[in-house]
């Protein structure tokens, strides 16, 4: 390679705009478009001693709860039946509230709840003193297409090219070239939640700057699913199978195979052949003045019974992940096989 081309290549690699425009980054540095799936468990947040000494204080509305649980909206529908079952078996008053990952973390940060739940792996800022993370399992992040479109599958490379703005027409995809009009645009729909946390949508592209400028950004999971269901030519993604499986989307929405594997194929997800997923994570306290033995008992029950979560949520339990070589630190999933 001549000096001129070496210089041009160096400029492209150093220039974010050049990387996006020419697609060099995925061809030259294929691992850099996909974000890290997990954070370093040895790196945590620091807090002042006043915060560390603070006990758990339930909010007034939760004061009668023996265990107070705040779950994000992805984990809530899958875990709620098991939590209710546990409470009935042990004749225990368990208060369960639903929120998003942000409020769930804030409930933990303010020390108002005994158990917090999120659909994302912990970021460094989430690793608070005296807080322990537990992984119930993982579930597929679905790539969504309009139900009327002749899209029966894509490769993970094509997904990244579409969301990165480098593939803009359906006819540019060889397998679909004869199925769409030549000028039919691809309309990506994107939703950025938990931007500072690893995994989830960042397994498609690491950060929002890598997504193409023609993408339509929406603010909620319902907006995402509704947009794709109503508009032919769109492509989106979503973690919440409770919403995806709603009867009103049965004919207008489909979760498509990626790299030849359906998102509902648990064996492919377990083996790492289906590339996009989110994590059912829970957190509990560990110090003498914060730990709640009843909360610990509930989390252990959820992990032991993860295989009984409604199959329509496609959760692969941590027990199966361990057998397949996924990496754990204690109860927390911290690495792929």
List pLDDT tens digits, range 107-163.
Answer: 999 999 999 999 999 999 999 999 999 999 999 999 999 999 999 999 999 999 999
Distance CA 8, CA 19 (A): 12
Q: Give the per-residue pLDDT at 106.
A: 87
> What architecture (CATH level 2) is domain 49-139+276-335?
3-Layer(aba) Sandwich (3.40)
Q: Comparing 49-139+276-335 with 142-262, is the CATH topology the same?
A: yes
Region 275-296: mean pLDDT is 97
9: its two tokens: 């290549």
Domain boundaries of the chain, sorted by first residue: 49-139+276-335, 142-262
Comparing 10-14, 130-134, 167-171, which segment has the lowest mean pLDDT? 10-14
* 142-262 placed in CATH 3.40.190.10: yes
pLDDT digits (tens, 9 = 90+) for 42-58: 999 999 999 999 999 99
Say which residue the tokens 């297409």 belong to.
145
Q: What percentage of residues in the chain have a pLDDT greater than 90? A: 87
* Residue 20 clears pLDDT 90, i.e. is over it: no
Q: Give the per-residue pLDDT at 32.
A: 62
- Predicted structure pTM score: 0.89
Q: Where do the DSSP E strands lie in the chain?
A: 67-72, 94-99, 115-118, 131-140, 142-146, 187-190, 216-217, 234-238, 253-255, 277-285, 316-317, 327-329, 332-335
């Amino acid at each position: 390679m001549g000096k001129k081309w070496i210089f041009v290549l160096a400029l492209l690699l150093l220039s974010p705009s050049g990387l996006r425009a020419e697609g060099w980054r995925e061809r030259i540095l294929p691992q850099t478009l996909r974000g890290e799936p997990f954070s370093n468990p040895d790196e945590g947040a620091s807090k002042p001693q006043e915060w560390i000494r603070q006990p758990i204080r339930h909010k007034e509305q939760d004061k009668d709860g023996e265990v107070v649980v705040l779950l994000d909206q992805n984990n809530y529908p899958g875990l709620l039946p098991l939590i209710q079952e546990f409470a009935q078996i042990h004749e225990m008053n368990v208060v369960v509230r639903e929120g998003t990952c942000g409020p769930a973390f804030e409930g933990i940060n303010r020390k108002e709840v005994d158990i917090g739940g999120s659909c994302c792996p912990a970021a460094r800022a989430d690793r608070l003193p005296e807080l322990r993370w537990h992984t119930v399992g993982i579930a597929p992040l679905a790539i969504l297409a309009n139900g009327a479109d002749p899209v029966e599958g894509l490769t993970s490379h094509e997904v990244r090219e579409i969301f990165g703005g480098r593939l803009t027409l359906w006819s540019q995809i060889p397998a679909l070239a004869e199925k769409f009009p030549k000028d039919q645009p691809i309309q990506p729909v994107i939703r950025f939640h938990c931007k500072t946390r690893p995994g989830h949508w960042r397994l498609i592209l690491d950060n929002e700057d890598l997504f193409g400028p023609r993408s339509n950004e929406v603010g909620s999971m319902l907006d995402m699913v509704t947009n794709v269901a109503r508009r032919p030519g769109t492509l989106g993604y979503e973690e919440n199978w409770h919403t995806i499986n709603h009867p009103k989307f049965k004919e207008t929405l489909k979760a498509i195979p990626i790299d030849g594997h359906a998102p509902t194929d648990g064996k492919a997800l377990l083996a790492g052949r289906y590339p996009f997923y989110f994590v059912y994570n829970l957190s509990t306290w560990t110090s003498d003045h914060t730990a709640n033995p009843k909360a610990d008992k509930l989390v252990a029950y959820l992990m032991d019974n993860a295989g009984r979560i409604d199959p329509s949520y496609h959760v692969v339990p941590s027990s199966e992940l361990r057998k397949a070589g996924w990496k754990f630190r204690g109860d927390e999933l911290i690495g792929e096989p």
